[in-house]
Amino acid sequence: MGDNPSRHSDSTRPQTGGVDFERMIMQGTQGGRPDAAPRPLDAVQRQTPGQDAVRIGTDATNTVVISNKTVELSFKDGNFDNKLLYVSQHGADKFNRIKINDLPPNTVVHTWIDRNGYFFWYDDGKPGPKAHHYLPNNALLLEANNAKIDLERERIKDNQQFAAENFGGFRNFDRNYVPARDGTTNSTSYYWKLAGGSAAALEIQEHALRESVRNSDNPYFKIYLSDINAAQAMKPLRDRAEQNLPYTPNNDYTRKKIDDALSLSKAAYDQTQGELGKLGKSNQYPSLNVYLPLAPQRPYWDYNKLPDDYMGFWGGGFNQSYGRMQNLTSLRGLIMSNVVPRVHELPNSP
């Protein structure tokens, strides 16, 4: 599991007459118990009873057997990483689970990110460097020592933690982030702050998030990647400003990154709007001035059992992506005019 797994308090049902959006804002990212309505991992694309297991590989160093959408590997296997890499390249459509056998009883599995993507590592309680075992992008579940790790949730948590450690964390856009009120100053200040992280850290997070955007339908990966791309747009400007050097906002790199960020926010907005539209209810959309917070940890897959969590997840993505679209559209126009709003950390440019 992730380095700092978060816990989630119990959710309550919405008040009579509809969803209590204001209470969701007070609750923030807290949601219902993940086990209250388990994510339907156990039901996805199960093998047909009686169907033969699938063997993938060319020799003993890379051959694995896939059964019930699961790749089983032994902790003791010297070809562990080679087999996992081979099956991810040649059999990704045939599995979405990884099961690790023979793991020592006091060993815990953690996940994290580096420049090559998402990986897991074994925590045996001993000091020293740990090997990185890279996760196939299609893997949804990892089982080890009777623990079941939802890899989608781990990827979300790892991105949140990585951003918090390197850039100060992802931020909720609220009524203070409205271009007509603040001239886009607050959102630009946020992106400027993210840009204070190292270029290498931004590239690591961009790579990981882009993998998730390609392989997951979770809209929060798009929202997070939008923020990272906007920070990358600001990075060369901030670096020059910190050296008291002149800078030109309207440059090819900054425009491209802002366009990428805007495209991702729009994709997240369209996706969440479409999902909420499936409900066919009069209160299915939170008002665009409600500002539900980012809530990627909420169990979102069962509106009937967990309506607060469903609406918190999709409504939060809806409001937060819309807020980013507004601000990025305004910021793009300013950049095209060769202007950056006066941000909180911006020294005078010579």
What are the tens digits of pLDDT across the range 110-169? 999 999 999 999 999 888 889 999 999 999 999 998 889 999 999 999 999 999 999 999
Mark the ranges of the chain whose per-residue pLDDT is less than 50: 1-18, 24, 26, 30-34, 42-50, 348-350
The pLDDT of residue 305 is 79
CA-to-CA dists, residue 18 to 76, 202, 292, 306, angstroms: 54, 40, 15, 13
Domain boundary among 112, 132, 150: 150
CA distance 99 to 219: 27
Whether residues 53 and 101 fall in one domain:
yes
319, with CB counted inside 10 A (0-12, 13-18, 19+), is buried
- Give the strand pairing for 97-101 and 70-74: parallel
User: Distance of alpha carbon 122 from its chain centroid, rounded?
Assistant: 23
∠ at Cα 345 (341, 350), nearest 5°? Answer: 70
Q: Domain for residue 4, yes or no?
A: no
168: left (phi over 0), alpha (psi -120 to 50) or beta: left
Count of CB atoms situated within 10 Å of the CB of 127: 5
Whether residues 139 and 189 fall in one domain:
no
Whether residues 144 and 180 fall in one domain:
no
For residue 270, what are its two tokens? 């369209």
Q: Domain for residue 342, yes or no?
A: no
Whether residues 206 and 318 fall in one domain:
yes
CA-to-CA dists, residue 294 to 33, 74, 209, 247, angstroms: 17, 38, 16, 33
Q: Domain for residue 308, yes or no?
A: yes
Whether residues 160 and 199 fall in one domain:
yes
Whether residues 194 and 321 fall in one domain:
yes
Whether residues 143 and 171 fall in one domain:
no
For residue 134, what are its two tokens? 């890279």
CB 232 within 8 A of CB 256: no
CB 117 within 8 A of CB 210: no
Whether residues 107 and 161 fall in one domain:
no
Whether residues 200 and 107 fall in one domain:
no
The full length of the chain comes to 350
Domain boundary among 150, 183, 216: 150
User: Distance of alpha carbon 298 from its chain centroid, rounded?
Assistant: 13
CA distance 116 to 6: 25
Q: Domain for residue 347, yes or no?
A: no
For residue 118, what are its two tokens? 């998402």
Q: Domain for residue 345, yes or no?
A: no
Whether residues 177 and 257 fall in one domain:
yes
Q: Domain for residue 178, yes or no?
A: yes
The pLDDT of residue 16 is 30
Whether residues 168 and 28 fall in one domain:
no
Q: Domain for residue 8, yes or no?
A: no
Domain boundary among 150, 169, 190: 150
Whether residues 221 and 169 fall in one domain:
yes
Q: Domain for residue 109, yes or no?
A: yes
Overall domain count for the chain: 2
The sign of the dihedral angle between the CA atoms of 23, 27, 28, 30 is negative
Q: Which domain holds residue 115?
A: 21-150
Query: Could you give the 3-state DSSP secondary structure of residue 141?
Result: strand
